[in-house]
Amino acid sequence: MKLVQILGTGCAKCDKFKQNAEEAVKRSGVEALVEKITDINVITGFGVMMTPALAIDGEVKLVGKVASPEEIEKLLQ
């Protein structure tokens, strides 16, 4: 099972990013857990200085933009 993490402080962009990630997981058929991380200390622990960001299995894949479900789906493969 993959762990998909949305890193963000709770803004509307972060909420949209989480929705897009959940949609991408549904479309891809990949077994994954999507979680949202809002703790700034955890976010900076990933080395992320700009949100929103996306991490898959602990590896940061995207920073500073809201990816579409299609973009996230490609990263899940």
The domain segmentation of the chain, as residue ranges, is 2-76
Catalytic residue among 6, 7, 14, 67: 14
Catalytic residue among 3, 9, 10, 11: 11
Q: Considering the chain, what is the average pLDDT of its residues?
A: 95
pLDDT at residue 77, rounded to an integer = 87
Note the pLDDT tens digit of each residue in 45-74: 999 999 999 999 999 999 999 999 999 999
Any catalytic annotation for residue 11?
yes
Which long-range CB contacts under 8 A does 58-66 form with residues at least 24 apart? 58/3, 58/5, 60/7, 66/13, 66/16, 66/17, 66/20
pLDDT at 8 over 90: yes
Domain 2-76 has what CATH class? alpha beta
Any catalytic annotation for residue 23?
no
